[in-house]
Structure 1
Amino acid sequence: MKKYKLVIFMASLVLIVAVLAGCTSSNPVAEELAKQRAALIIGEFDEIHTITVNGTEINPDEDGNWKDLFEVGSEVRLVVDPAPGWEFLGWDFDENANELETTIVMFDDNTRITPTFNDGLVDVGAEGLDMEMETQPGNTVVGENIEGPPAVIISNNQGPVEGVEVTVSIESDLDLDGTMVQTTDENGIATFDDLVIDQVGEGYVLVFEAEFADIPLRVDSEAFDVVEEELDVYTLTMEEPKGEGTVTPDVGDHEFNDGTVVELKAVPSRGEFDGVFASNEDQGNVESNEIRIPMWRFSHWEGDVENRESAETTITMDADKTVRAIFVEDEEIVDPETFDVTFVVVDGDGNPIAGAEVELGPLTPQTTGEDGKTVFANVP
């Protein structure tokens, strides 16, 4: 009897195993478990840099490493965004893998890769390098933050220079309190918003110094006063410009102490693409109607400014004042030297179309991205 029971048990076990084996061959969960995986380890990178793996930003552990499992044979897309002022030199698995975007194929062994970055500012060139006052200091009450606040801007022929340390001092034996070193932002501007002078006086001058590409830079502010009594405060209203362009200070109300000299700047629009685009249903060629590039130029200021005809001028705040920049469309300027043309391709419901080929005259055709956009840069 015991022997019989054992035979029945063993037969049942064989049957169960056979059933499980049959399920495994068609069970997607079992198939997924059967796939071979390998670890990808990204080592020795600082969290100041941004790295994404298959579209997801990763963060290093306390040892500076990151790892995850991937199916053997699958492709892994790596995108690197170095911190401002740093340069990505490449991945150590291939001397040619120095692009910001690259793809690797996972092998059956665990893979460790390491990115390399330079340890200093990217050499963006010293040609045209200059530092100038962005915002002048204004007359200030003793013990309060210097009016303005004072700011400088660093640029070269390629545009604003980010990541440069600027030091401020004062041309006197006075103590200047506050943050003495500021770093230029993405617009090349370093702003000193907490400087304080604790002694009444006239004709103070701030000195700003920096060094970039082994070139020393210096600019001195205009003279300003520090007074004991509370100063009258006046409002400068910058109205919306007439025509197309931007102004500094921005459109709106700005308060300044009595006697503050405010710098004004007007920059006309250089023109944008003005056209209508349509795509066919199979995402083929995209045709446009006539391209029109409107150009604008600065005409004059309205208001009590120092020089109405100059795009860069000043206004002295001794009362509430209102100014407005006037831009006029310049019919004589047909085309700029170069400009960027952006195409947006959508379907009938307004949804962006990715992968559409766009042609613009004799230029090399471009393909739209996931947002349906593509850009022809520096079109002559």
Structure 2
Amino acid sequence: MSSTPTESKTPSSGDEMSPSPTCLLTPTSVSSGNGSSSMCTPKQNPIRLRALENLMKERVSKSPQLQIPASPVMERLGYGTGVGVFLLERSPRPNGDASSPWAIKKTMRMKEDDEVITARLEYEADILRQLCHPNIIGYRAFGKTTSPDAAFLALEKASKSLSDLIEDRVEEVMMIENCDEEAPFPAKKIEKVAIDVGKALTYLHDEMKMVHGDVKSANVLVFGDFETIKICDFGVARKLNAKGEVEGNYVGTEIWNALEVITVKRGGVKKFPITHKADMYPFGLTIFEMISLKPPHLSSAEDSYLETSQTDNATDDSVVVLEQSFDEEAYELALSRYIGTRPLLPDIDFDSSYNHILGVFYCCTEEDPSRRPDAKDVVAALEIDAQK
């Protein structure tokens, strides 16, 4: 199957504390974090930038069509709502040098949802074309294909997502005899993720005046052995208005959503405005995921559900068989009580290397968004610690 990108391929950067606001420090500048230079230069002279864009369009118009194989013949890297992510191994360059692989995000057949999913993918492509930062996934191309796949988005390929690495770590821990089930990532790796993601959010919030809208481990990509971290999936990114509030609905993923977002979704009284601080709460939960190796809130909800079920249903001589008596509605009710709150950390004797990252977790998961730090302050605090 062949297809032609509707837009040009755009080069981007390299392919290849305590619980109080006192953890906030002086803001720091956003840098690459991996020492690599970036080909995109958002602050350059507008006239030169237009000339560069025109040159790129001319080059692409003379280049061969981008060939996207059918989904079944490509290795699947992941999936999402109505989309699959596949590996595209590209042909060598004319001079014989190897071409870096791309991740191809393709819409899958969803019948009545086809147009919605395609529009969302095209929206994401439009957002990514505006962005240029070493900690944001690189845009490569967008195009539409013939049936069965309606559209595709070509992106820089990462080694793995953070959620994949968390699953890998859980499996590794289970294989170790007499190992504590709670085995967080080393503090330095958690700090590296927090710094790089924090830099990306600083760029989005302060320079681009937008929110990511769905921060979580599945949307954090890890290159190499935590050498560089980048965020991806901008399908629900939203602009900030002149007041600094989110335009339209902040979407997110329910169990990662901040209290002010959940309150609006449930039709409650709006107590806090939804601003860039709505990204900082799930940022804190992403740190939680690296510590607990679990999604947020689920353990607390399970404990609450089990306690309620055993109290309501068990008798002195009976045994509650969960597989036969699971009450999904009761479980969802239990879970709803925890969403938007600060999840309980596992009962671990953390050594001093975790002090700063735990402080960031506590600050970012404040229910009052005004008490959460800005991304640039998190970066500043952690970079000072990293230099010690």
Higher helix share: 2
> TM (normalized to structure 1)?
0.21
> TM (normalized to structure 2)?
0.21
Query: Larger Rg: 1 or 2?
Result: 1
